Structure 1
Amino acid sequence: MSVIQKHEEFLQYSEQDIETTLLTPSFRVDLRNPKKEDLDQFITTNIVSDWSQLSWKQIGRPYEVKTVAKDRIEWENHNQTSMPVKTSWEYFNRSFHEWFVKDVPAELEEKKKALAKHLKQFHLGEIKEGVGDLIKLRLWNYVHRIEDGIWDPRGKRALFEGLDIQKPKILFLGAAEGYEAMQLAAMYPGAEVVLVDYDSYCRDYRFAEFPESYPFLGVNPRTGGPKVWYKSDMNIEYVVEDIRNLKYGKEFDIVLSVGLLEHVPDEHKEEILDMHRRFLKPSGYLIMTTPRDQLKSRLYYKIMADVMNHTYRELMNIKQMGLFVYESGFDILRHGYIKVHNGIIAKTR
């Protein structure tokens, strides 16, 4: 039984638990800040007043992460060719998910005991490996459990707040476990969610094993007040398909992607953005996030390279991200950065 399955058994949250935060063995529960006015402190916005006046000469190009996972290097050495894009995503999804389901405190204790044993026996190779494993696990514990920087529910709610929609139809491209679409569905009740990823592992494991007991803070449609939502409360369809092959029309109120734009070189970013535009209603919202280019992010992707860096990856600042979006024919309604991500909400120009 996985740590997430164990967590499923222990409780259900309700509106009485709002303002609660606590740590489970694998993630943080955060039901704080239900009031709209409190959300502003979790996103820094209005960095650019006029996107038409911004140029690439002023802001520079994104930072490319060069450190590559050992699994990718070994695969390419064995096959004497570059790892195909889909294969690299399959490796990444499996690697990343293994960390989400860890019992982090228990594994930290095991790693410390193993390192102490290797130190006592003076096994140099095992000592070096053990120190590296312990550093990665402590970093993951801080970034994901303590700071909740990956899911960042308060920051995401601040970014998603105030959209002029009711019972939206939401398309999530490159959905992985679908976290952000579920947060949107909690905030905009009655949503119909379509998650799309071309790796079936995302549907069968990353989404399927996302904890049913994880509480999303959203809106009660009957009262307008706060309400706790769960994955099982939501209308979600998971489609395994290459997003280039989707047959939908311009029928979605929200087209969403999280950590997708930065995985292609600049010459392909317009194509990625067009994949979002082609499914949006004329009044629909584009929502995108990418990892921020900051010193601690660069350090994170270097230390966690074997977990994270199977695919092409960039880090960008909000100006760089926004200029890609603006030059691709979108008007940016809200932009800014939260803990470790840039965020944009836009409409087709």
Structure 2
Amino acid sequence: MLLHPKELSQNGRSFTEEDIGETRLFPQFRMDLRKFSEKEYNRFVTVNTVRDWSQLSWKQVGRPYEVRAQSNERRSWEQEQNREMDPHTAWTFFNKAFHEWFVKDVPSELDHSKKQFIKSLGSLKPAEIKHALGDVVRIQLWNYVHRIQDGIWDPRGKRALFEGLSLHKPKILFLGAAEGYEAMQLAAIYPRAHIVMVDYDEYCKTTRFAEFPGYYPFLGENPATGQPKVVYKDELNVDYIVDDIRNLDFGKDFDVVLSVGLLEHFPDAYKPEVCDWHRKFLKSGGYAILTTPRNQIRSRLYYKIMADVMNHTYRELMTVEQMGLYLYENGFDIKRHGYIKVHNGIVCQPR
């Protein structure tokens, strides 16, 4: 069923516990209140493939795949400035480009891009035809990856990675939070959580998080009954800090330190520091939870076709074994690891 936001109730809370088990399609995204059946689980979630991390070596797992295609925006900026784009500027460009795709009315954009392509054929200009065809391919790919497959948010897969941890009213620190999706899903699973989101691009707080749809339903838990519950953004306890992670002055205050798509943006020389960011703010017994994009053929194709949207920064694609080895060698014990549709996921604790 395709729903438009204007069809929702004024308070935005149009889904209740009666809708658990359902999935519906919106113009911008898919909502999914389903759980995996036993039959489905192993088709979409693969966990704990490594028995002993101490026996794994880089010779066995190989090195991550570096995405070398760059966005036109980055190349143009560097030509104009006559220098390499700095990381802060790169993230600013990326966040705006990415958010513009999240808010698209995809069915309308699909229709428009096809009409523009047909119109371009009449021009008999190869450059114009190529540009119009590229628009069709990108919106079709975005539609499949984000709306049909729901691979970017992947609520069922993320819940499978997050569930079953020993957490009670957890305090969650989300590093490089962007729109904050995963921390909100985590907080829905573990009621009465307090989320502190951190990103050094103010646009992430004022636009990406602020404009995250309040009518999006998270599948969580009712703290009074322990039964499944539909949870909304405005029911969650969230603070958002705009700052560089390196400037944070927290102590070991958090039960969970979370990052999504952070580790793969740093070359090997900086990965120990990134790992330490996940350690230094954890309470004793706390969990570091990380995800990164998977190294698979379709992911490589995605980052090539969507280069103008995605590739403003250094980026790697990893296997879960590569990701886990970075963490193991930097002082973490891997408690749970696996891969879902397009992401690797690891839950670990400092040794």
TM-score range, shorter chain: over 0.9
Q: Does 1:272 align with 2:274?
A: yes
CA contact (8 A) 1:169 1:254 kept: yes
Shift of residue 125 of structure 1? Answer: 2.2
Separation in 1, partners of 2:116, 2:288: 48
Separation in 2, partners of 1:254, 1:348: 12
Q: Say which SS state the counterpart of residue 60 (structure 2) adopts.
A: helix
Shift of residue 95 of structure 1? Answer: 0.3
Of 192, 195, 204, the residue aligned with 1:193 is 195
Shift of residue 151 of structure 1? Answer: 0.1
Name the CA shift for 1:93/1:9 in 2 (closer, same or farther; >3 Å): farther
CA contact (8 A) 1:18 1:34 kept: no
CA contact (8 A) 2:98 2:310 kept: yes
Of 236, 246, 253, the residue aligned with 1:234 is 236
Separation in 1, partners of 2:72, 2:101: 17
Name the CA shift for 1:173/1:268 in 2 (closer, same or farther; >3 Å): same
Q: Say which SS state the counterpart of residue 270 (structure 1) adopts.
A: helix
1:169 corresponding residue in structure 2: 171
Of 15, 39, 43, the residue aligned with 1:13 is 15
Shift of residue 117 of structure 1? Answer: 1.3
Separation in 2, partners of 1:37, 1:172: 32
CA contact (8 A) 1:115 1:131 kept: yes
Separation in 2, partners of 1:167, 1:41: 32
1:52 corresponding residue in structure 2: 54
Separation in 1, partners of 2:286, 2:43: 26
- What TM-score do you get using the length of structure 2 for normalisation? 0.96
Separation in 1, partners of 2:211, 2:4: 7
Of 254, 257, 264, the residue aligned with 2:256 is 254
The superposition leaves residues 226-277 of structure 1 with CA deviations (integer Å, 9 ceiling, x where unpaired) of 0000000000000000000001000100000000000000111010010110
2:145 corresponding residue in structure 1: 143
Name the CA shift for 1:267/1:6 in 2 (closer, same or farther; >3 Å): farther
CA contact (8 A) 2:5 2:26 kept: no
Q: Say which SS state the counterpart of residue 289 (structure 2) adopts.
A: strand
For residues 117-132 of structure 1, what are the structure 2 equivalents within 5 Å? Answer: 117-132=119-134
**Residue identity opposite 2:248 in structure 1:** L
Name the CA shift for 1:294/1:240 in 2 (closer, same or farther; >3 Å): same
**Residue identity opposite 2:130 in structure 1:** K
**Residue identity opposite 2:304 in structure 1:** K
**Residue identity opposite 1:267 in structure 2:** A
CA contact (8 A) 2:4 2:26 kept: no
Q: How many residues align?
A: 347
- What TM-score do you get using the length of structure 1 for normalisation? 0.96
The superposition leaves residues 91-134 of structure 1 with CA deviations (integer Å, 9 ceiling, x where unpaired) of 00000000000000001101111111121232332211000011
Runs of at least 4 residues off by over 4 Å: 3-11, 34-41
Q: Which runs of 5+ in 2 are unaligned?
A: none
Q: Which runs of 5+ in 1 are unaligned?
A: none
Separation in 1, partners of 2:120, 2:44: 43
Separation in 1, partners of 2:327, 2:41: 24
Shift of residue 57 of structure 1? Answer: 1.2
Q: Does 1:106 align with 2:108?
A: yes
What is the root-mean-square deviation of aligned Cα atoms in Å?
A: 1.7
Shift of residue 6 of structure 1? Answer: 4.4
